[in-house]
């Protein structure tokens, strides 16, 4: 005696399996990309680096305030100055002064605590921030923004949105990069 349901059942099971695989594949393709937080900085190697790491954690999400140097509000160079002050290092107040201090560091040798400099968020008289590299060649070398390198391409800085983490390899930062300086002493983490 032959079972007539055999071929039909087999076809139904195969069709259901194919539909399930198809729908699973489609659903997988429509997922929203997940945003992963930047990796934590490598462990600090010196007491200064440890103190700087703590200061960075305290200043994260601090609001932006032109001329500010405290946790109630900071601008970019005020943030850098205040964070390094907590680590026991006295840095000058302005971006340009900070750029002309410290040991120059090539971009491919950046490590935790290095200060990175850009020509982004420059201030035009009463016109707000602009990207100097998009203007005349006389302004390309203008240094007007900085932040503290965390590692793995990430740096922390005070932007108009407050103290945040950005990636130095993003196009806007790569195009605006001017240089870097090292202020921390000791071995690289």
- The alpha carbon dihedral of 37, 79, 157, 164 has a sign of positive
**Which domains does the chain possess?**
47-182 (3.90.1720.10)
In contact, 57 and 165? CB cutoff 8 Å: no
Residue range 41-59, pLDDT digits in tens: 555 579 999 999 999 999 9
What tens-digit pLDDT sequence spans the chain (189 residues)?
555 556 665 555 555 555 554 454 444 444 445 556 666 555 557 999 999 999 999 999 999 999 999 999 999 999 999 999 999 999 999 999 999 998 999 999 999 999 999 998 775 444 444 444 444 444 556 899 999 999 999 999 999 999 999 999 999 999 999 999 999 987 554
Residue range 31-43, pLDDT digits in tens: 445 556 666 555 5
| Residues in Cβ contact with 96 at an 8 Å cutoff, skipping those fewer than 6 apart | 143
Residue range 144-156, pLDDT digits in tens: 999 999 999 999 9
- What's this model's pTM, rounded to 2 decimal places? 0.70
The set of catalytic residues is 76, 145, 157
């Amino acid at each position: 005696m032959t079972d007539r349901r055999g071929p039909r059942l087999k076809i139904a099971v195969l069709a259901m399996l194919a539909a399930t695989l198809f729908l699973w594949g489609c659903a997988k393709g429509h997922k929203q990309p997940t945003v992963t937080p930047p990796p934590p900085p490598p462990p600090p190697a010196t007491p200064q680096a440890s103190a700087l790491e703590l200061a960075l954690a305290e200043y994260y999400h601090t609001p932006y305030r032109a001329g500010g140097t405290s946790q109630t509000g900071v601008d970019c160079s005020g943030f850098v100055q205040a964070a390094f002050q907590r680590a026991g290092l006295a840095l000058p107040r302005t971006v340009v002064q900070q750029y002309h201090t410290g040991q120059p560091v090539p971009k491919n040798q950046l490590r935790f605590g290095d200060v990175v400099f850009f020509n982004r968020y420059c201030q035009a008289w009463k016109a707000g921030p602009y990207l100097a590299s998009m203007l005349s060649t006389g302004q390309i070398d203008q240094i007007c923004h900085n932040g503290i390198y965390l590692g793995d391409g990430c740096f922390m800085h005070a932007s108009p949105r407050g103290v945040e983490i950005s990636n130095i390899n993003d196009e806007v930062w790569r195009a605006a990069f001017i240089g870097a300086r090292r202020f921390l002493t000791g071995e690289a983490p």
